[in-house]
Structure 1
Amino acid sequence: MAIQRMDNVLIVVEDLDAVIAFFVELGLELEGEPGPVEGRWVERIIGIDDVRQDIAMLRTPDGHGKVELARFRTPKAISPEPRDAPANTLGLRRIMFAVDDIEDVVARLRAHGAELVGELAQFENMFRLCYVRGPEGIIVGLAEQLT
């Protein structure tokens, strides 16, 4: 049996409101209001006791991709070192989104504290690409298709 689809990517955050605002500015749509998740069922799934967290789910405009944000009330989230890890650090490094106007998106995200990781660059005559670091060090890749 094959998988059906990739459902979502989870990002653990401290400032849920700031990260929601960042992703909404990027163009994702918040599904309902952030809400609490707790109980034995979630503790069994994630392998942590006494879990209390707030969850927000955001979806891409096409409805196929989702980003899940979680703020742990208990136990407190553990900060990785270094916080602003470079792109060659092991583990999940970024989420990539296709955009219509990369310069406009970068300008709007800067209003939410985002900064370019490197620079905006062009790959042949096919794409304009960049990485931006948003709230809490989250790296988002942006790609504008040229052809």
Structure 2
Amino acid sequence: MSVERMDNVLIVVDDLEAVKAFFIELGLKLEGETTVEGPEVGSLIGLGDVRATLAMMRTPDGQGVELDKFHTPDAIRFGPVDAPVNALGFRRVMFAVDDIDALVARMVAHGAELIGEMRYGDSYRLAYIRGPEGIIVGLAEQLG
């Protein structure tokens, strides 16, 4: 037995509406939103007295980004919101895009910060942007 596929990535957020709007602007779709709570949820994730709102976002090819807003217990922030890419832990999610210039311009107009961009030989153009709550998103445009 082995892994069949990646189902989703979880991002715990404080301002669920701002982060949903950010990912919608990137081109993801809101698949659904619900509130979960109770002992079964707490048992699954190792916390007591859990109540959280979950929003499932999907890329056009069906990959998932789950956004969770914890109401109880309160979310805990480790380190600064604008932690650098080399901070320990999951630091970014990357999406393939077809027009990196247009998307970066749109996201910056939407409030994202351009961290940096580069060309990787003749294969890719890459850009990193920072969205709400310090979320880092990588964008990759395949060349040629």
Q: 1:75-129, CA deviations, whole angstroms, 9 ceiling, x for partnerless residues?
A: 1111121221111111101000000000111111113311011x22111111110
Of residues 135, 141, 144 in structure 2, which corresponds to 1:144?
Answer: 141
Of residues 93, 98, 104 in structure 1, which corresponds to 2:96?
Answer: 98
Of residues 116, 120, 123 in structure 2, which corresponds to 1:123?
Answer: 120
Could you say which residue in structure 1 is the equivalent of 2:20?
20
Q: 1:47-67, CA deviations, whole angstroms, 9 ceiling, x for partnerless residues?
A: 11001110000111011x100
Structure 1: distance between partners of 2:99 and 2:58? 19
Please report how far the alpha carbon of residue 24 of structure 1 lies from its aligned counterpart in structure 2 after TM superposition. 0.7
- Is 1:109 the counterpart of 2:107? The answer is yes
Kept in 2: contact 1:112–1:134 (CA 8 A): no
Kept in 2: contact 1:112–1:135 (CA 8 A): no
> What is the TM-score with the length of structure 2 in the denominator?
0.96
Q: Displaced runs of 4+ in structure 1, greater than 2 A?
A: none
Q: Which amino acid aligns with 2:59?
A: T
Structure 2: distance between partners of 1:51 and 1:122? 44
Secondary structure of the corresponding residue to residue 132 of structure 1: strand
Secondary structure of the corresponding residue to residue 61 of structure 1: coil
Could you say which residue in structure 2 is the equivalent of 1:35?
34
Kept in 2: contact 1:116–1:132 (CA 8 A): yes
Could you say which residue in structure 1 is the equivalent of 2:84?
86
RMSD: 0.9
Structure 2: distance between partners of 1:126 and 1:139? 22
Q: Where in structure 2 are there 5+ consecutive unaligned residues? A: none
The percent of aligned pairs where both chains have the same amino acid is 62
Higher strand share: 2
Could you say which residue in structure 1 is the equivalent of 2:68?
70
